[in-house]
Amino acid sequence: MKPVILITGATRGIGFAAAKQLGARGAQIIIASRDGARAAEAAARVGDGACGVALDITDQASVDAAVKQIEEQFGRLDVLVNNSAILLDHYQSLLELQPEVLLETLNTNVVGTLRVSQAFALLLAKSKAPRIVNVSSGAGQIDGEPQSWAPAYCISKTALNMLTQQLTAALPDVIVNSMCPGWCRTDMGGSDAPRTPDEGAETLTWLALGAPHDLRSKFVKDLGVIPW
Ligand code: NDP
């Protein structure tokens, strides 16, 4: 039976690269986008029976509709990849950061990820080997020197890593991990980044399908565990 994998924000960038990699490994891919037509078009580019779903992770009604569609189509979900995120404050200093920008960033990157994870928990419970992969960022690590780049984004990714730990405790039968793709050439990463989206997606693909079952509640980059 093909593992059923939903990837949020997967019409482009790292999410789309992961969709191609996982589809090529025999998974049933569901590409999510706020724009259902773009999701369907991206799914056609992935091939192998991939399909699309409209999903805005900041909108409960949209998330509920996506759950209903996937339940009717597949009856379960094996892997949820929380890939969607926004980066609004690249080079803004913390002291000039508008609170609204922080709220909007947290609303998508953290609250949206929680909303989607909550909503799909019942479909994940119908899987024999359910997994959640949260696409985070080294920008959220708190073990290094203090940093000033993109404060709202960094704070959101630190919170996402804690959400990974909380989800592990709340969903003991689901393998939940966070991962960092590294700096990749995407709309978010820009053209100077050293990695391709495909390179960035490799660890995601491994966590979604191949990683050992005892690897849980970890932060992973380049197939290895890194500090939170
Ligand atoms: P992109 O900006 O290319 O893609 C982000 C995706 O997020 C879009 O496809 C968009 O989908 C989706 N999205 C944004 N808001 C919402 C929303 N409200 N609801 C649903 N989907 C939404 O980014 P990348 O591919 O670069 O990034 C993918 C992930 O990797 C992100 O979590 C990012 O933080 C992380 N990352 C990226 C790095 C990089 O260098 N690129 C480095 C470290 C981490 P749509 O518009 O179709 O709805």
From the CB of 161, is ligand 1 less than 6 Å away? no
* Residue 7 pLDDT > 90: yes
* Residue 202 pLDDT > 90: yes
Residue among 186, 164, 175 at smallest CA distance from 114: 164
- Angle, alpha carbons 182-184-185 (nearest 5°): 175
Question: Average pLDDT, stretch 120-148?
Answer: 96
Distance of CA 15 from the midpoint of ligand 1 (Å): 7
**Residue 147: per-residue pLDDT:** 87
* Residue 191 pLDDT > 90: yes
Question: Average pLDDT, stretch 23-47?
Answer: 98
Neighbours of 183 (CB within 10 A): 17
CATH for 4-225 (1.10.150.110, 1.10.579.10, 3.40.50.300, 3.40.50.720)? 3.40.50.720
Name the residue of 120, 136, 186, 188 to mutate for ligand 1: max ligand atoms within 8 A of Cβ: 188
For 139-174, how does the pLDDT look when each residue is reduced to its tens digit (9 = 90+)?
999 998 888 999 999 999 999 999 999 999 999 999
Which residues neighbour 22 within 8 Å (Cβ) at sequence distance 6 or greater?
5, 7, 29, 205, 208, 209
Cα 69 from Cα 35, distance rounded (Å): 15
Q: Catalytic residue numbers?
A: 153
Contact 75/126 with Cβ under 8 angstroms? yes
From the CB of 185, is ligand 1 less than 6 Å away? no
Cα 46 from Cα 176, distance rounded (Å): 25
* Residue 11 pLDDT > 90: yes
Distance of CA 223 from the midpoint of ligand 1 (Å): 21
What's the mean per-residue pLDDT of the chain?
Answer: 97
Distance of CA 124 from the midpoint of ligand 1 (Å): 23
Question: Relative to the CA of 138, which ligand 1 atom is closest?
Answer: 43
Backbone φ, ψ for residue 195 (5° rounding) = -105, 150
* Residue 91 pLDDT > 90: no
Cα 154 from Cα 2, distance rounded (Å): 35
* Residue 17 pLDDT > 90: yes
- Banded pLDDT at 19 (limits 50, 70, 90): very high
From the CB of 8, is ligand 1 less than 6 Å away? yes
Distance of CA 86 from the midpoint of ligand 1 (Å): 6
From the CB of 2, is ligand 1 less than 6 Å away? no
Cα 182 from Cα 28, distance rounded (Å): 26
**Residue 146: per-residue pLDDT:** 86
Strands 219-221 and 224-226: what pairing? antiparallel
143 or 18: which leads in pLDDT: 18
From the CB of 15, is ligand 1 less than 6 Å away? yes
From the CB of 152, is ligand 1 less than 6 Å away? no
Closest residue CA from atom 45 of ligand 1: 33
The pTM score is 0.98
